[in-house]
Structure 1
Amino acid sequence: MHSSLPLLFGAIAIASASPFERRTVAALNTAAFDEAQQKDNTATRAFSGTSIKTGDGRCLFIDELSGDFRANLDPIQVAACDGSAGQSWDVITAGAHDNVAGTMLLVSTLTQACMNFDDRRAPGNQVIMFSCGGRADGGGAVTPSQLFNFTGGAGPLALQPQSGANVCLAVTSTNVLDQAPCAAGDATQSFSFGGGAPGAGATTSVAAAGPTSPVAGATPTPTSALASSASTILATNTKVPVTASSASIPSGPSTSSPAIGSAVQGVSANSTSAVPVSRAGGVLQPSAAAEANPKDTTATLAFSSASIKTSSGQCLFIDSTAGDFRQNLIPIAVQDCTGAAGEKFDIITAGAHNNEANSTLVVSSLTEGCLNFDDRRAAGDQVIMFSCGGRADGGGAVTDSQLFPFGGGNSIVLAPKNGAGATCLFANGAKLDEQACTGDASQTFNIVA
């Protein structure tokens, strides 16, 4: 690892609690940002480079350093209109991430991230910017959490996400955008587009193709609601380049998984230092990993620190450094059993992330991540470890991509519930993969305590 290239998270002295305090970064990671926030050059834009004005004439803006290293999780703030880059928005009505008539995406011209409503997140932290399509690494397609009702025109209009029933976005007293029950005539829920040119079809563009690089000094100073949480204000907007020698980050949306044929046998404890990792971020962030993968101390365990063996007697294994900076996206290796910590799993039949009878989570005893099947990912990279509950930052509750039917005993067919009984996991050479369920012995695993 090059000592000059770790992710530079801000050293922030917290003076008061804020939902954004752990996400402020001193710099974006160039490769991860470019992967996560890709401009859709096929999109139809109703407005391009416009402002979004509140009912009292102020403007919505983002500070690209108020989220994570990819410019995800940025809150949407409100300030006097000043024409800065953070106040510039594209209104997209059709494209790679919007295939629903009568809807729009609200895309930051600065970062290319989409405005997003997610009621699974903590109250007060549900309206954020996120990679268009809903996948943190930019690999998503369309998600209703980013689609807002739109019939045309510059407004005034309400910002009503399709993922919420009777939910409208509203300006709070702390000058950030939040959600509230829709109320006709409420000025805090009234928005309009202005200050930019109407779009002219798919070719209308303000910036060059590709993700828009944040411009130093272009973003408004954070509002007092955010600034009060830090004794140090980060004044420069910087992207830190990551070389191939310090991090291996895919050049596009998740198209391949890290090599797992030679898993690290010496992993006996979960790292608490900034060691290199194989996927996005390049360097483990122990605090982010701990937040993303907390241990569920309320859980009911059928087995604790058990090995999961294939029909041929090999063990499932994870290398805690083979994923991203949060220890998400780790592939599962299949290898000869050694008793290493990466071979140990908890079988959880009830708890914070499992509320379904006759089902189980398969949780790494090493990282506390959950075995996860996601058919939206590239083939060969759909079986991974991920934060239990299905949210990258650990804020999720229950997801069927991590639940497997289990009625007890010491064997299990790993048929994820989101596969509807048609998909089973199996040992595909040196890794765990997915295939159609056949009832073959290769799809049955033994749990050995």
Structure 2
Amino acid sequence: MNAARKAGRWLSGPIPVSVVLALLIGACFMIIAGVDPVSGYVAMLQGSFGTGSGLANTLQRAVPIIGIGIAIAIAFRAGVLNLGTEGQAGLGALTGGIVAVYVPGPAILIVPLAFIVAIATGAAWGLISALLQNLLGVPILLSTLLLNYPARYFSSWLIRFQLNDPSTDLVATQQLRPEVQLGMLVPKDSAFADTLRSTFGPTSPITAVLTGVNWSIIVLIIVIAGAVFVNRRTRFGFESGLSGQNAEFVRYGGVKPGPLVTRTMALSGGLAGLFGVMLIIGAPSTRLIEGYFVQTNYAFTALLVTLLALYRPIGTAIAGLFFAAIMVGSDAMGRELGLSPQIAAVIQALVIVLLAFRVALPRMRRRGANGANGAAATGEPVGEPPLTEHALAEPHAPVPGAPQHAPTATGADTKESDR
């Protein structure tokens, strides 16, 4: 009974309601465009999960979104607003890709070296913002956002004017050697692939996923498991979770905010760089192309995913898969029904806007009620309780009007928020 009650309370919470309302508003846009919404969403679902190739495309599209989302979630959970993952991932892709393309040597050495260089580059770019805040008081929110631009334009300049391959019409570098490319889980021309086709069929989901998704998905699974472990079982995870909920309590507990911000930005930027380079050297990609990473818009989508998941690793994976399905399904809907694939961007934006509205509305109501009660009793306004992850999960739960108390040292609240 408790499980059913919890499920019902979650289904009436801000996240499911926001998703449903966004889909309904998206249906209105389809009607305006002259398309049957039922047919549109059936085509979207069929295109993203209904076929083997659609499922493989959804998983492949979800990997960088979820990975960069995890990088953002690690920072946001600690109260560090890292909006610079586009630059961190882009520079990681650039430097790691340069290693993969131009450094000679066996693949068993070059691929790990490309990963290490990409992680170090992303971490270093993130540390710039941490140092600016710790030494000069520049807010990380501002510095990370602005540092995206020099990273973007430096990468474009380097590829266009220094690394451009004249043998191709693309503004791109030389091709990767096949042996240093992250191949599919099962190579398409292997004997095992032939066995899968003969056993399950060439278009079955098993065959399509194993032969159409590269090894970056394994790295993603390891990163998600590592993020859950760090959040629940390590001192850094405990301190960063408390810092995101109540920075003053952590400071009184003896944790220095400067080193915590530095560690958080290094970890967040390093993960962004890792998934940036995997997007470049993972099949079917074969080159560094000017503006490719920026055009994918993965960093912004990952930010939406993180906000929707409330910084939880497992929630980020689910939300990232949902957004990837919308993107892949919208492409299929455009091919079948002639509807613009931009409907995916509309639905994604609506989910976040409606989520913010659903979260803010109960707070405004409580503030008005508390203010009226406080004014009647004392003649003074009553303070508004701060917004927490629990308030997002249960917006209708009664919240006292007094300021939030510092969390206890048991870590129970922190662990609950990471599930």
Normalising by the smaller structure, the TM-score range is under 0.3
Structure with the largest fraction of helix: 2
Comparing both chains, which one has the higher relative contact order based on Cα–Cα distances under 8 Å and sequence gaps of 6 or more? 2
Structure with the largest fraction of strand: 1
Return the TM-score normalized by structure 2. Answer: 0.21
